[in-house]
Amino acid sequence: MNVFKDAGHLFRLAAVFLVGTLAFLGMRVFLVPKSFGQYGHYRGDAMAEIAARPVNFAGHQACEGCHADVLEKKKGGRHARVNCEACHGPLAKHADDPSVQPVKLDTAVLCVGCHEENAAKPKSFPQVASADHSTGLACDTCHQPHSPAITAGGAK
Amino acid sequence: MNITRRHMLLLLPAAAIAWKHVLAGTPESSPNYTMSRHWWSMLIDVPKCIGCGNCVRACQSENDVPDGYFRTWVERYHVSGYDIENPHVDSPDGGKQGFPPALEEGGKNFFVPKLCNHCVDSPCTQVCPVGATFVSPDGVVLIDKKYCLGCRYCVQACPYGCRFINPRTATAEKCTLCYHRITKGLTTACCENCPTGARQLADLKNPKDPIHEFLKTHSVHVLKPHMATGAKVFYNELDGSVR
């Protein structure tokens, strides 16, 4: 046993390493969240946390539940596939509680957001130079926003 | 209030319970959603984009994105003549308030909406040193805010420039493909608010999704295919000048 004659310091060092390793493993059990590694090298619960965020835009399905009359007006018109909140803005609060009233829109500024003339817009998209086209008049003077074509009898 | 030793001892069990809650995470919020049944992507129909900026505004409102930062944005391309390798690109405030008239006359002009491509082999998730960003089992690249250190490796790794550091939280941020909406059966805020249908959310695992027919019958491209990222945002009729 000559080899181990002066090996006391090695055993002490090994003991320190052992305690360190055990402390590391022990801490790891406490500090690494349970769901880490559930699906991969990340915290599985993170997805539920991200999904828990409240929505701001209710979605057109929610609008159509109550506003069937508007849906009827839009049908067949050029705006049939434009969803409600694209113009009316985020209204999840209104969908949850109808007493929260949406802001009345000003068509003089709203419509040109899409329909102002621009060379980069697709040629088939209806565009106007608003200064010439309406001279500042609100668009709903002539056009009905939910079905914007001007019919023989004027704005519907 | 002075905290005495007695108070401290009384507080400790409460703190232990609270910490356990932190470790356990919040409960599942969409009980009817099964991740393994979906594989999300998006279709961008470039010729339909009118550059109105509705998507950018909707995204900022839905996801509380700070001013001057973008999870999605719209670029305007101007290509004069044959020089398609040097397009002039502008995106004033991300296209949030639409675009002013073009400065240059003639040439080819069009809009290209951009967002995270939710890559299958995403370079951004591979560089994260702490496992804070990942591709979810339903194909969405997400960030775990609680784990993110804000080291910015991922911001540099994304070849599409889709990530940024949120100045309020000092963590990385990006498009979540409105994960909180698509898990509830809604479409994303940008798709919901696109007036021309230029953006459409698509589920590649759903055999009834119109994306399958569209991909078969149209000339569809992804951005930077040479990067081999497995991008899942498909662009219809994408011009060769788009970077």
Of the pLDDT bands very low, low, confident and very high (cuts 50, 70, 90), residue A76 is confident
Locate the domains of chain A by residue range.
2-51, 55-101, 105-156
B28 interfacial to chain A (CB closer than 8 Å): yes
User: Average pLDDT of B83-88?
Assistant: 91
Q: Answer yes or no: is pLDDT of B234 > 90.
A: yes
B16 interfacial to chain A (CB closer than 8 Å): no
Using an 8 Å CB-CB cutoff, list chain A residues near B132: 42
Q: Is the distance from CB of B222 to CB of B235 less than 8 angstroms?
A: yes
Query: pLDDT value at position B104?
Result: 76
List, for residues B140-174, the tens digit of each pLDDT value. Answer: 999 999 999 999 999 999 999 999 999 999 999 99
Contacts of B119 (CB under 8 A, 6+ apart): B135, B141, B229, B230, B231, B232
Using an 8 Å CB-CB cutoff, list chain B residues near A131: none
List, for residues A113-142, the tens digit of each pLDDT value. Answer: 999 999 999 999 999 999 899 888 899 999
List, for residues B116-128, the tens digit of each pLDDT value. Answer: 999 999 999 999 9
List, for residues A99-112, the tens digit of each pLDDT value. Answer: 999 999 999 889 99
Using an 8 Å CB-CB cutoff, list chain B residues near A65: none
Query: pLDDT value at position B2?
Result: 62
| B183 → closest Cβ in A51, A54, A116 | A51
pTM of this prediction exceeds 0.90: no
Using an 8 Å CB-CB cutoff, list chain A residues near B210: none
Contact A48/B62, CB-based, under 8 Å? no
What are B79-84's contacts with CB under 8 Å, separation 24+? B79/B107, B79/B108, B79/B109, B79/B239, B79/B241, B80/B104, B80/B106, B80/B107, B80/B108, B81/B107, B84/B239, B84/B240, B84/B241
Locate the domains of chain B by residue range.
39-121+173-236
CATH for B39-121+173-236 (3.40.50.300, 3.30.70.20, 3.40.50.620, 3.50.50.60):
3.30.70.20
Contact A48/B76, CB-based, under 8 Å? no
- ipTM for this prediction: 0.85
